[in-house]
Structure formats: C-alpha cells, structure tokens
Amino acid sequence: MNKAIAEHLRVVADFQPSNADELEAFRLKYLGKKGVLNDLFAAFKSVPNEEKKEYGRVVNQLKNAAEQAVLRFKSELEQSKPLHSENDLTKTGDHVFTGSQHPVTTVRNEIVDIFKRIGFSVSEGPEIEDDWHNFSALNFPEEHPARDMQDTFFVHTDPDWALRTHTSSVQVREMEGNEPPIRIIAPGRVFRNEAISARSHCIFHQIEGLYIDKNVSFADLKQTLLYFAREFFGAETKIRLRPSYFPFTEPSAEMDIWWGLETETDYRMTKGTGWLEVMGCGMVDPAVLEASNIDPKVYSGYAFGLGIERITLQRFGIPDIRMLFENDMRFLNQFKGVI
Ligand code: DAH
C-alpha cells in the first residue's frame, strides 16, 4: 500500500478532537475542496493500471473513515456542549405559571395551627350528611327551622340526606366513634340554601372545635377561646361572651372580640358596637352526649364553631364574599407572594 495513504489511515483512526475547531480543521484537511482526498482522487489518473484497483480501494477506505469520524465527533461534541453556550444570556427566562394559596385556605391553616399547638387534632366528616348527624343527634327538635327546605339543601330522592349545614355533624361522628378524652377541630365546607349576596353565600367554610373529658368547665372554654383570639387577632385582643342559644349546647354563647370604633368601616363591621362577632360556643348539652353514648354524669365538654369566610374578608380587606368563590384570576393573583 502507498505509504502516504497508510499514514493518513492511521491519523484518521487515531483522530480525537477536543473541540469543534479541531474537528473543522480535520474536515477541511481531508474532505475539503483542497483536501487530501481530492488530491488522492486527482492522482488516480496517473496510477499504473495494475495498481488502480487497490489504490481505489484504500482511498475510498480513507474517505469513509474520514467522513465517519467527522459525523461521529460532530454529534459527540454537540451532546457534551453546555446548554447555554449558544444562548443569549441576556434573554429573559421562560415564564413559569405558579398558583397561590387561596385566602380561605390560608386562614383555615392558620386557625388549625393555633389549635394544634394546644393539643387539638384535625378530624373530618362527610359533606353529604344524614339527618341524625346533622340535626337529630345535635338535639334539633323535629320542627326546627333549619330542617326546612328553605334553609337546607336536601338530597331530593331521600329527605334523610342533606348537604351538611354545619361542621357540628363531625362532633357527633367523633363522639360515636371514640372514647373521651376527645379534643378535635374539624375544618370543612358547609352548605345553606341562602340567597347569595355580598355578605352571605350558599357555600362556605367552618371550623368546629370539641373537647370532651372529665371535669371540663366553662372556664376551660373561655381560656381556650381567649388563647385563640390572642393568637389570631393579636396579643392585646379582648373578648366577651354573650349569652346565646344553640340546640346542642347549654349554656350557649357567642364570642365577640373588641374591634374598636375608630373608622366608618369599624362602625359598619361591628354594627356600631365596636364588638365583632367571631364564633358560637357553649358546653355540650347532656342530651347530645347521651345521643352518642357518652355518659354525661362522668364526662362534660365544650364545643365551638366559627365561619372562616368572614374573618378572611376582614383579614385581607375583601369587600364581597362572592369574590372568594368566583375563581377570577385577577382577584386570586393578588395573593401571590402575599400569603
Ligand atoms: N353550628 C353552629 C352554626 O353553624 C355554630 C356553632 C355554635 C358550633 C355553637 C358549635 C357551638 O360547636 O358550640 O351556626
């Protein structure tokens, strides 16, 4: 074999470029217009006839080897190339669409955390509830207005089932299924057949609290609610308990916090009293304990329930409850990075 060609074959076989420039130089040297292979093909004419066959074979071998080396190293160099090497580093990045937490979720989580810190655990119940858990076991009399179609969404095929009107139904499920001591909070969605307005909606969220043990007193309830109010609304918060009525608690009360009466908004929000209504509460009625097979002579307990939406509106200065349910991105985007 022609010595020069043998040397070229060796060079091509050993070729190992470390960058694209070296590869390009190699390509030009062998495959370029004025490259080695063109010269070798041009010399074919002057090769003696009896050597032509062998000469053609090795030159073609060299050509194939050179072409393959170029192809292989080209793709290898491309793969190992840092991604940004040919990008414009001053270009703005691709926009990543991120969601944000809904303000109702934020407030719910905050309330849940506050009660978790003093030993309450989270419990949940079904949103479609039977009459027993939503009403009867909670001491609602047969003719109570809440049982009216006007107030409650019943399952039309079976009036024994309805969308729960409050999270108090979880109290019953909890007491039926567990021995005291019971210390739970139950956040959840509730439903009422109400006209939708800026202040009320047919879907909203509540958090229920229940504590059952030996010797639980009204003083325990009061102190727990004071703790909550100060954690949520601020360390200086003052509370008051007003007598009220719920079928499932006796005595029953409404807890207000002192909001102040400095601005016109304060007047509107507190109906001119300076006190803001936050939740209903009371000592669990003995009839309710009995309905769930808990002996009221041994155990007592307290319960409370609050609506999440109203305090969410206050916290973020949202003027209309409907905004919380419309999923309008212009509204929701305002909470990005805020909460
Ligand atoms: N379930 C009541 C409501 O929806 C709120 C409530 C009041 C819950 C007093 C309680 C309670 O646990 O003790 O209006």
Per residue in 25-44, pLDDT (tens digit) is 999 999 999 999 999 999 99
- The answer to whether position 252 is within a domain reads yes
Kindly tell me if the per-residue pLDDT of 81 is higher than 80. no
Residues linked to residue 128 through DSSP beta bridges, in sequence order: 163
pLDDT given for residue 106 in this prediction: 95
Q: 167 near 186, Cβ under 8 Å?
A: yes
Residues 69 and 175 in one domain: no
Give how many domains the chain has, as a whole number.
2
Question: What residue's CA is closest to ligand 1, atom 5?
Answer: 305
Closest ligand 1 atom, residue 190 Cα: 4
Residues linked to residue 212 through DSSP beta bridges, in sequence order: 182, 301
Residues 218 and 313 in one domain: yes
**Residue range of the domain that includes 43:** 2-79
- The answer to whether position 95 is within a domain reads no
CA 243 to ligand 1 center in whole angstroms: 13
- Detail the residues annotated as belonging to a binding site: 250
Radius of gyration of the chain (CA): 40
Residues 75 and 159 in one domain: no
Residues 184 and 261 in one domain: yes
- Cα angle for residues 175, 178, 183 (degrees, 5° grid): 70
Residues 75 and 123 in one domain: no
Question: What residue's CA is closest to ligand 1, atom 7?
Answer: 280
Residues 194 and 293 in one domain: yes
pLDDT given for residue 266 in this prediction: 85
- The answer to whether position 97 is within a domain reads no
Rounded to whole angstroms, the Cα distance separating 28 from 17 reads: 14
CA-closest candidate to residue 131, choices 300, 294, 291: 291
Kindly tell me if the per-residue pLDDT of 85 is higher than 70. no
Decide which of 227 and 267 is more confident. Answer: 227
CA atoms within 13 A on the CB side of 171: 34
Q: Supply the angle between the helices 218-233 and 103-116 in degrees, to the nearest 10.
A: 130
CA 4 to ligand 1 center in whole angstroms: 99
Specify the range with the lowest mean pLDDT, choosing from 57-66, 72-81, 89-98. Answer: 89-98
Instruction: Say which CATH number the domain at 182 has.
Output: 3.30.930.10
Residues 175 and 43 in one domain: no
Residue from 304, 306, 308, 309 whose mutation best tests the ligand 1 pocket (most atoms within 8 A of CB): 304
Residues 184 and 59 in one domain: no
Token digits for 320? 């209309």
CA 304 to ligand 1 center in whole angstroms: 6
Residues 62 and 183 in one domain: no
Across the range 93-107, mean pLDDT stands at 87
Band (pLDDT 50/70/90 cuts) for residue 1 is low
CA 267 to ligand 1 center in whole angstroms: 25
Kindly tell me if the per-residue pLDDT of 177 is higher than 60. yes
Residues 213 and 314 in one domain: yes
Q: 301 near 180, Cβ under 8 Å?
A: yes
CA 139 to ligand 1 center in whole angstroms: 12
Residues 46 and 182 in one domain: no
Q: Amino acid letter at 315?
A: R
Rounded to whole angstroms, the Cα distance separating 307 from 200 reads: 11
Residues in the ligand 1 pocket, defined by CB under 6 Å: 166, 168, 208, 246, 249, 280-282, 303-305
- The answer to whether position 25 is within a domain reads yes
- The answer to whether position 136 is within a domain reads yes
Q: Amino acid letter at 58?
A: V
CA atoms within 13 A on the CB side of 50: 0
Strands (E), 113-238: 121-122, 128-130, 154-155, 158-163, 182-191, 203-213
- The answer to whether position 72 is within a domain reads yes
Residues 123 and 259 in one domain: yes
